[in-house]
Structure 1
Amino acid sequence: MKSADRPSEGKAASSRGANPAAGEALIERAFALLSCFDSENRALPLAGLTRRTGMPRSTALRLARQLTDVGALERLDDGRFVVGLRLLEIASLAPRGHGLRAVAMPFMEDLFHVTGQHVLLAVRDHDKALLVERLSAHDAVPVRFRVGERMALTTTGVGLVLLANAPVGVQEQVLRDFVSGEGDTTIRTTEELRRSLAEIRRGDYAVARRLDPAAPRTTVAAPVRAREGVVAALSVVAPSPEFDPAAYVPAVRATARAISRQLLETEVAR
């Protein structure tokens, strides 16, 4: 009989904790290693993986080789490691990422052509906003946001919309952790953040301003809804000096509502 056919043995092993504990530790180490990569470190040598994870060199090398064997990592000719395409294949199946993006993209493209600015689509992942799509004009104000990046809920337009519609427990935790004067936005205190969230819920949109002297920018964002409630946030980001938020609110809200309707229709059709 195959091991998969013996649930009683699996349960016994689980209760003893030996094998599951080892498996869980392996998974944690694998994700720790994969998390070493970011927009500024797309290729890392073994020494970089060791330094960033704190793992022994032999452990990091063994794990990196295993991840390379399954396609989660790839090794360049110079010996450095990069994220493998297999992860992209798997990530593309995430319904909150690729599925949402597939529905939203035609509407985002319309908004992009109308505004000629950055158009962002993000979902909430715990206490961060995760960017799942971005359209940008060549001459749009520079931003560092990239698809797959996690952004603060308190300093971005999409983040504020997602936070305003998050469960109360999430909101209260973020409010407790908020540091007065955090970031370069116009929201400077916890009380201002609390008032802003209430205003976003009432108006069903957010306006966020970044005060960076080198590239001040303003964002208009609106919620995207599905059957279970707010599932994403859509925004337009543009240079502050030439951006009148009031002129963009109707277009952003209308686009977010159109995506919401399409999501609901897609769910009903399933």
Structure 2
Amino acid sequence: MPSAAMKTGPVVARALQILGAFTSDRRSLTLSDLSRHSGLPVSTVHRLVAELLAWGALERDHAGCYHIGLRLWEIGSLAPRGLGLREAALPYLEDLSQVTRENVQLAVREGTEVVFVERIAGSGAVPVLTRVGGRFALTATGVGLVLLAYSPADVQEQVLARPIERYTERTLTTAHQIRAVLADTRARGYAVSDRQVTIDALSVAAPIHDHDGEVVAAVSLVVRHGTASTQALANLICTSARAISRAISRAIPPFTPGH
């Protein structure tokens, strides 16, 4: 007779497939949309969606479309690398935003991608492609380069072995180029992404360390290219990174960076 674990496992996997159908570009989905994007039969989706609605993982609007529910957000916010990190860092991010009136970003590594935990956009700041909760390549953004520079060697090799996406004509797309940038980042303690994501933006980022000295996050300033000295930005961001490192060492239980 199948065990409870054997019965539960596939159900959980199918429920996760349904939740995984939602993306930043697909925030509202019909039942047939969920079936198509999850690869599951409509009958299975209908049954599981009812359970997800009852628990609060999904919500349904007046038009009959489904959205991610607040209950799921509540659970996700308990992750120490999300809300806990954000709460410890937020006072320093706000200070940096007030001083510069520029984009301030906080990010962590999840596998081979950057996940943005917080972003504060200054008045008149240069537009950026990132959003809170969004993912991005490790090879292009300032925070991504910092996180990649301090990642284990196997993660670096995995990232650099893949084709590297080009966002502008200045995006570095060869492993040789990126290895040189990673070495520079470790040597000086900060990374510079110069018009690699959008042609009008410059990002300067620094690592955030936990109480053991491990890099667990990165913070950056993103400004319009040509409006500020890179060294001045580096001084500001490194000072903020050190302050956040002290704050999270006091406030957040130890945790391991993304695998």
Provide TM-score, normalisation by structure 2: 0.90
Preserved contact between residue 140 and residue 197 of structure 2 (Cα < 8 Å): no
Q: In the aligned structure 1, how far is the partner of 2:234 from the partner of 2:197?
A: 22
Unaligned runs of 5+ in 2: 254-259
Q: CA deviation at 1:26?
A: 1.8
Matched with 1:217 is 201
Larger Rg: 1
Match of 1:147 among 125, 132, 136: 132
Q: CA deviation at 1:78?
A: 0.7
Q: CA deviation at 1:68?
A: 0.5
Q: CA deviation at 1:40?
A: 2.2
1:43 aligns with 2:28: yes
Matched with 2:105 is 120
- Report matched runs for 1:96-175 at 5 Å: 96-175=81-160
Unaligned runs of 5+ in 1: 1-12
In the alignment of these two chains, the number of paired residues is 251
Preserved contact between residue 209 and residue 217 of structure 1 (Cα < 8 Å): yes
Matched with 2:65 is 80
- Report matched runs for 1:1-270 at 5 Å: 19-179=4-164, 182-184=166-168, 185-211=170-196, 215-228=199-212, 229-266=214-251
Structure 2 letter corresponding to 1:59: T
Structure 1 letter corresponding to 2:83: H
Which has the larger displacement, 124-133 or 183-192?
Answer: 183-192
Q: In the aligned structure 2, how far is the partner of 1:26 from the partner of 1:40?
A: 26
Which has the larger displacement, 215-224 or 97-106?
Answer: 215-224
Q: Secondary structure at the match of 1:44?
A: coil
Q: In the aligned structure 2, how far is the partner of 1:48 from the partner of 1:80?
A: 9
Q: CA deviation at 1:19?
A: 4.1
Preserved contact between residue 220 and residue 248 of structure 1 (Cα < 8 Å): yes
Structure 2 letter corresponding to 1:61: H
Structure 1 residues 56 and 132 mapped into 2: Cα distance closer, same or farther (>3 Å)? same
- Please identify which structure carries the higher helix content: 1
Deviations 1:61-113 (A, max 9, x none): 11111111100000001100011010111112111111111110000000001
Q: Secondary structure at the match of 2:185?
A: helix
Q: CA deviation at 1:23?
A: 2.2
Which has the larger displacement, 123-132 or 170-179?
Answer: 170-179
Provide TM-score, normalisation by structure 1: 0.87
Q: In the aligned structure 2, how far is the partner of 1:47 from the partner of 1:131?
A: 30
Q: Secondary structure at the match of 1:224?
A: strand
Preserved contact between residue 218 and residue 243 of structure 1 (Cα < 8 Å): no
Q: CA deviation at 1:212?
A: 6.2
Q: Secondary structure at the match of 2:23?
A: coil
Q: CA deviation at 1:155?
A: 1.2
Deviations 1:101-149 (A, max 9, x none): 1110000000001111111000111111111111112422222311111
RMSD value, Cα = 1.9
Q: In the aligned structure 1, how far is the partner of 2:196 from the partner of 2:160?
A: 21
Deviations 1:2-61 (A, max 9, x none): xxxxxxxxxxx8xx7x54344222222212211222222221111211111111111111
Structure 1 residues 59 and 266 mapped into 2: Cα distance closer, same or farther (>3 Å)? same
Preserved contact between residue 146 and residue 206 of structure 2 (Cα < 8 Å): yes
Structure 2 letter corresponding to 1:221: A
